[in-house]
DNA sequence: GGTGAAAGCACCGAGTT
DNA sequence: AACTCGGTGCTTTCACC
């Protein structure tokens, strides 16, 4: 888990790829005044180092009829059940991410559903897992994703300062 | 925001691209026993319809020294300040996503930081925003992302049933 | 660690069925 | 809507710096 050394060029390559993984390496090369081969080698190295773990499509879930987002906090009967419950949670496809947390809840997850009825169904599934004592739901009325470029820039500035 | 009609072929194309946006269309074509041109046309249509909104790199933030994740619930003095505070929140690069919510909190966000010290700093920034009455933090000890393919499959099964 | 050129493919539009 | 096909341009490798 050691920090990996990224130089200015790596950073600029990531910056151009982060919001469009299909940006041609030739375009990147032109902009950075290096050869396309170099871009290729550097991307490959970042992949091998595990910095770049993959590339994923961004889909508009609203257009697919899945506009409902909620966060569900989960209280367990005993913390020793954490792993078991986490495994059960991850079997539910409508749970997009789950966390083991400190604070109020033992577990915490984000769900994506069609509508309130569907969400109710998912939450009932969560409630029904053995060891779950109680759940608490927060419904998202509006989601605003932050720019990944901004975070990258901060991480990079931090590295080089 | 109407549902878009995706057939089995579209679904299979998305399925192959969702975890690797650089999968060659010729590979997809071979697997689906259609021509690469058809794959191209269908992807383009899904882009035009706004189903596919983009593609993004997945990075290992732990390897970049940003292993700390927390969720912060925000109580406002007045709900009329929601938009103002949301805008301020989105200026902080370490906030990766923010939501307007019902339930306990008025706003809810996810932060990514280097360590507890850094997180403290980010949370103090949130606390300092005009109109924020109080915040409540849940620290993630472990994050487990769910497979996007599984959600896609469920969405698709639902569409065709 | 970078280059530039060359070979191999992929992309993508035009024309056809 | 889907296919084929060809021009264009991207990727990837390799000998060399």
How far, in Å, CA of A49 to CA of A4, rounded? 8
Question: Residue A157 — pLDDT band, cuts 50, 70, 90?
Answer: very high
Structure tokens at A98: 């789950």
Q: Does A62 touch chain B (CB under 8 A)?
A: yes
Reported as a single tens digit per residue, the pLDDT across B25-70 is 999 999 999 999 999 999 999 999 999 999 999 999 999 999 999 9
- Using CB atoms within 10 Å of the CB of residue A118, give its burial: 0 to 12 exposed, 13 to 18 middle, 19+ buried: middle
Nearest residue in chain B measured CA to CA from A5: B64
- In this structure, the strands spanning A52-59 and B52-59 are antiparallel
State phi, psi for B102 to the nearest 5 degrees. -95, 170
* Interface contacts (A, B; CB < 8 Å): 221
How far, in Å, CA of B138 to CA of B72, rounded? 6
DSSP letters, A24-69, are -HHHHHHHHTS-HHHHHHHHHHHHHTTSEEEEEEEE-TTTTT--EE
How far, in Å, CA of B5 to CA of B87, rounded? 35
Reported as a single tens digit per residue, the pLDDT across A98-148 is 999 998 899 999 999 999 999 999 999 999 999 999 999 999 999 999 999
Among protein residues, the one whose C-alpha sits closest to the C1' atom of D12 is A37
- Our measurement of the distance from residue A81's CA atom to the centroid of its chain's CA atoms, rounded to an integer in Å, reads 25
Find out whether B122 and B113 touch, Cβ atoms under 8 Å.
yes
- Using CB atoms and an 8 Å cut-off, which of residues 11-40 of chain A contact chain B? 14, 17-22
- Using CB atoms and an 8 Å cut-off, which of residues 110-139 of chain A contact chain B? 112, 114, 136-139
Q: Do B97 and A144 touch (CB under 8 A)?
A: yes
Structure tokens at B6: 């995706």
Q: Given this model, what pLDDT does residue A79 score?
A: 95
Q: Do B53 and A59 touch (CB under 8 A)?
A: yes
Among protein residues, the one whose C-alpha sits closest to the C1' atom of C2 is A38
Q: Do A138 and B67 touch (CB under 8 A)?
A: no
Q: Given this model, what pLDDT does residue A111 score?
A: 98
pTM for this predicted structure? 0.94
Which of B21, B51, B59 is nearest residue A64 as measured by Cβ atoms?
B51
Reported as a single tens digit per residue, the pLDDT across B99-133 is 999 988 999 999 999 999 999 999 999 999 999 99
3 state SS of B107:
strand
Q: Given this model, what pLDDT does residue B111 score?
A: 98
Contacts of A158 in chain B (CB under 8 A): 65, 114
Q: Which domains does chain A have, with CATH numbers?
A: 8-57 (1.10.10.10), 68-140 (3.30.70.920)
């Amino acid at each position: 888990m050691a920090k990996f050394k990224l130089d200015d060029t790596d950073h600029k390559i990531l910056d151009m790829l982060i919001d469009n993984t299909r940006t041609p390496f030739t375009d990147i090369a032109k902009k950075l005044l290096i050869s396309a081969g170099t871009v290729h080698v550097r991307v490959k190295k970042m992949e091998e180092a595990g910095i770049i773990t993959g590339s994923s499509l961004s889909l508009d879930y609203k257009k697919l009829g899945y506009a409902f987002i909620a966060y569900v906090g989960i209280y367990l009967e005993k913390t020793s059940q954490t792993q078991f419950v986490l495994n059960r949670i991850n079997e539910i496809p409508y749970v997009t991410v789950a966390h083991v947390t400190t604070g109020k809840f033992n577990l915490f997850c984000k769900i994506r559903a069609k509508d309130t009825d569907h969400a109710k169904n998912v939450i009932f599934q969560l409630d029904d897992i053995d060891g779950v004592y109680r759940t608490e739901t927060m419904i998202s009325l509006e989601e605003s994703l932050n720019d990944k470029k901004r975070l990258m820039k901060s991480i990079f500035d931090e590295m080089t300062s």
